[in-house]
Amino acid sequence: MVEAFRMSLATMLAIIVSASLVTSMRTQQTVDLESVLRAAYHESGAVTESKAALLGLEEPVSFLSVGDRNASSLLVVLLHGMAFTASTWKFVGTLDALANAGIPAVALDLHGYSGQYASASVRKSLLRQFLQAIGWSQPVVVVAASMGGTVGAPFVLQAPHVQAVAGYVSVSALLSGVGVSHSNVPALLVWGDQDSPNSNKAIAHENMFTTHQKVVLPDAPHPCYLKWPKAFNALLVAFAAGPQAGVTQADQALLAEAGVPALKVHAAASGSARGRAVKASQEL
């Protein structure tokens, strides 16, 4: 009996050690992927840095932005994960891709969700206050990666803000503090196949968003956009711009390379320059 217990304990320890090694390897993979993207990034001059003072916060919110918000009726809001910063969206090329498509965007820098961002109540109202601070009251597409869901999901799913949400992109995002059972907001649910695309969290997202499309990127970790940056950016642009904008041949090739199926769900409204230009040409 004692021997059986020892064998059982040894097995448990082996499983724990193995799991720790896998986690460590995946963490290092993530660090390596971001480092490569950071080193390869070339400044386009399109990305600017700004700050917005919010009521109740000691420090202003830092954010990166691209595009002319005055010339658009749609804004993409990017929320990074815990281990990253707003600059991650720059090095991945997301901000530049949106700018090139004529879609203005902002990427908030939330400092590891610590300090003034550690409070769940602060995160719950943060996006609403931020948009008010920058003077934006028109529709948004919210992109939340991992911990970014604690800021994005409450805004997307809670009235009276829901009517101002054109779409939601969850990249393995947390789904907490929402207080509703379902939503009609169009959603793009993006996962890496090395993450947990069939987990309870994934199922909860699928049940929450009645109009959604799930995309699983191959050989990709939790921050799957690091493995497939160009395909992820092409996917986001296509979702935000809407079906009337179409997908360029170059983006189609990128999506095909990543095994991404045809996009069937799009943001509810498109005020991008690209979307307006295509719509206008169709009406001629």
Q: Is 222 a residue of the active site?
A: yes
d(CA 86, CA 63) in angstroms, rounded, equals: 7
35 is catalytic: no
- Please report which helix (H) or strand (E) contains residue 273, including its range: helix 273-283
Could you tell me the two tokens for 134?
């920058």
Considering 87, 195, 251, 266, which one is annotated as catalytic? 195
Tokens of 212: 């959604």
Interatomic CA distance for residues 29 and 283, integer angstroms: 48
Residues whose CB falls within 8 Å of the CB of residue 19, separated by 6 or more in sequence, listed in order: none
Considering 65, 72, 87, 146, which one is annotated as catalytic? 146
Task: List, in sequence order, every residue forming a beta bridge with 170; answer none if it has no partner.
Answer: 144, 189
Contact status, residue 172 vs residue 145, Cβ threshold 8 Å? yes
Q: Say if CB 272 and CB 103 are below 8 A apart.
A: yes
Chain centroid to Cα 124, Å, comes to: 17
**Nearest CA among 200, 207, 79 for reference residue 150:** 79
SS3 73: coil
Does the annotation mark 193 as catalytic? no
DSSP H helical segments within 45-199, as ranges? 86-91, 94-100, 120-133, 149-157
CB 197 within 8 A of CB 217: no
Measured from the Cβ of residue 162, the count of other Cβ atoms closer than 10 Å reads 14
Residues with a catalytic annotation lie at: 146, 195, 222
